[in-house]
């Protein structure tokens, strides 16, 4: 007997950018389609820069989003200001679409608290990136419960990887979302790897989407390399959630083209042939081919786009590098809404110490961003503020 539950799978574009399904009416808008492409390119160029900044010791560990741009761009382009994002660490694209500034993302990965204090009103109520695997799924259900109690028309989106779907937190979140019919959309970035653990041994379930069925709600699979497919299904899921029709799980099938993080070396556990084959499926080339085939994209537009994105990325890097060092006491900020008395005392002590050190040797108490440690690529822990 098969353990497979037949669930929908959506794909409109094949890897060459040819149509393999009938596009919905919303996709008649070629301005929108070009914009989705532009956003994927911007994400990729920023991502490449972030990796380069880690390699030169200017930020700590970074989790590249290479190959998964379609998923994040689709989600972020569809969420409304009043929706809430509860992300994981590979959500650079969604955050950029939500108005999080590139320099804020760099500050975050540099271990700077200012990187989670988003300035854009669109992302003010979004959560910071969650590094502990799958815990964000429960936070999302908490937010969705509040929205439901208040009778608001808002949706919560939470994301995770394929490995995260094995965690108790994830399964508990599905359970409560189904039991209470919460307005939450779970998006699983099935990029085939959880660090060095391949999808085939991650779970006995033939699809990860079917995990929703056990919790009493609908799940689907989507080609996560096809931005049009992801856009279509996320749009539908968000609309349902906002109208009180309960949760949805979308499993987006993609591939992690980069290392797990800059502290990883994926050549140790996966073959060059596998990665080469995955590059043939990646999302940006296929969308470019589709747009070019419809005569709305050409080499001139491509060059102008790349130049524009590079300007934006460089301006963000300049802002990041001139942000200065965060105050030492920031290590205690953002932990409690109402401070316990003991922590207040510790903060005072810390400030006194900083003041004393500052008096005896000006500048010494405020350290610059951490520098790269030699051989960082092989280290399992980060050189910055995060551990994986
Ligand atoms: C609770 C917890 N356990 C272990 C880790 C270490 N860890 C970091 S990433 C990762 C794999 C996650 O893989 P997946 O969920 O597939 O997401 P991906 O990184 O592939 O996007 C693990 C085990 C962690 N961060 N948190």
CB 130 within 8 A of CB 81: no
Q: Which of 269, 311, 336, 356 is catalytic?
A: 269
Spatial CA neighbour of 164 closest among 226, 79, 228, 249: 249
CB 383 within 8 A of CB 372: yes
How many whole angstroms from 89 Cα to the centroid of ligand 1?
9
Q: What is the pTM of this model?
A: 0.91
Percentages (nearest 5) of helix, strand, coil residues in the chain: 50, 10, 40
Residue 370: predicted pLDDT: 40
How many whole angstroms from 149 Cα to the centroid of ligand 1?
32
Query: Which of 67, 90, 138, 194 to probe ligand 1 with, by most ligand atoms within 8 A of CB?
Result: 194
Catalytic status, residue 334: no
Give residue limits of the domains in the chain.
9-321, 328-367
**Residue 85 pairs with which residues in a beta bridge?**
157
Phi-psi category of 246—alpha, beta or left, where left has phi over 0 and alpha has psi -120 to 50?
A: left
What are phi and psi for residue 183, nearest 5 degrees?
-80, 65
Sheet holding 248-253, edge to edge: 9-10, 218-223, 248-253, 184-190, 156-161, 84-86
Spatial CA neighbour of 171 closest among 220, 201, 145, 138: 138
* Proportion of the chain above pLDDT 90, given as a percent: 81
Separation CA 311–CA 102 (nearest Å): 12
Counting as low any pLDDT under 70, the low residues of the chain are 1, 363-388
Q: Which of 44, 98, 114, 256 is catalytic?
A: 256
CATH code, residues 9-321? 3.40.50.970
How many whole angstroms from 163 Cα to the centroid of ligand 1?
6
Separation CA 72–CA 189 (nearest Å): 9
Residue 246: predicted pLDDT: 98
Q: What is the CA radius of gyration of the chain?
A: 22
How many whole angstroms from 133 Cα to the centroid of ligand 1?
5
CB 110 within 8 A of CB 369: yes
Catalytic status, residue 139: no
ipTM: 0.99
Spatial CA neighbour of 227 closest among 81, 82, 97, 46: 97
Separation CA 65–CA 47 (nearest Å): 7
Spatial CA neighbour of 17 closest among 288, 369, 357, 313: 288
Query: Which of 72, 133, 165 to probe ligand 1 with, by most ligand atoms within 8 A of CB?
Result: 133
Q: What is the DSSP letter of 130?
A: B
CA-nearest residue, atom 20 of ligand 1: 194
Q: Which of 122, 242, 260, 286 is catalytic?
A: 260
- Residues within a 6 A CB radius of ligand 1: 90, 131-133, 160-164, 189, 191, 193-195, 256, 260, 388
CB 188 within 8 A of CB 252: yes
Chain centre distance of CA 58: 21
What is the three-class DSSP state of 281? coil
Catalytic status, residue 9: no
Residue 366: predicted pLDDT: 54
CA 113, 119, 124: angle at the middle one, nearest 5?
A: 90
Q: Please, what sign has the CA dihedral across residues 324, 329, 330, 331?
A: positive
């Amino acid at each position: 007997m098969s353990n497979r539950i037949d669930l929908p799978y959506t794909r409109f574009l094949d890897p060459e950018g040819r149509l393999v399904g009938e596009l919905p009416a919303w996709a008649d808008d070629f301005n929108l389609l070009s914009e989705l492409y532009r956003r994927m390119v911007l994400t990729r160029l920023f991502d490449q820069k972030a990796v380069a900044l880690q390699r030169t010791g200017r930020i700590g560990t970074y989790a590249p989003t290479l190959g998964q741009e379609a998923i994040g761009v689709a989600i972020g382009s569809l969420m409304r200001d009043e929706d809430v994002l509860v992300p994981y660490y590979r959500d650079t694209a969604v955050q950029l679409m939500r108005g999080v500034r590139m320099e804020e993302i760099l500050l975050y990965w540099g271990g700077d608290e200012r990187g989670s204090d988003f300035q854009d009103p669109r992302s003010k109520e979004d959560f910071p990136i969650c590094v502990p695997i799958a815990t964000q799924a429960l936070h999302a259900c908490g937010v969705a419960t509040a929205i439901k109690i208040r009778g608001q028309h808002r949706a919560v989106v939470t994301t995770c990887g394929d490995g995260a779907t094995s965690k108790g937190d994830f399964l508990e979140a599905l359970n409560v979302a189904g039991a209470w019919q919460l307005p939450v959309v779970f998006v699983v970035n099935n990029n085939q790897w959880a660090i060095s653990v391949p999808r085939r041994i991650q779970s006995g379930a033939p699809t990860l989407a079917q995990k929703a069925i056990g919790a009493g709600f609908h799940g689907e699979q989507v080609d996560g390399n096809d931005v049009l497919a992801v856009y279509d299904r996320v749009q539908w899921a968000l609309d349902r959630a906002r109208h009180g029709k309960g949760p949805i799980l979308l499993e987006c099938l993609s591939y992690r083209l980069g290392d797990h993080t800059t502290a990883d070396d994926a050549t140790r556990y996966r073959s060059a042939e596998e990665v080469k084959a995955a590059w043939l499926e990646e999302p940006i080339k296929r969308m470019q081919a589709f747009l070019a085939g419809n005569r709305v994209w050409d080499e001139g537009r491509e060059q102008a786009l790349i130049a524009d994105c590079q300007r934006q990325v460089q301006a963000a890097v300049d802002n990041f590098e001139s942000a200065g060092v965060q105050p030492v006491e920031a290590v205690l900020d953002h932990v409690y809404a109402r401070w316990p008395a003991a922590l207040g005392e510790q903060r005072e002590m810390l400030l006194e110490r900083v003041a004393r050190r500052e008096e005896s040797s000006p500048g010494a108490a405020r350290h610059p961003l951490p520098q790269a440690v030699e051989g960082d690529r092989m280290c399992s822990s980060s050189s910055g503020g995060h551990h994986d």
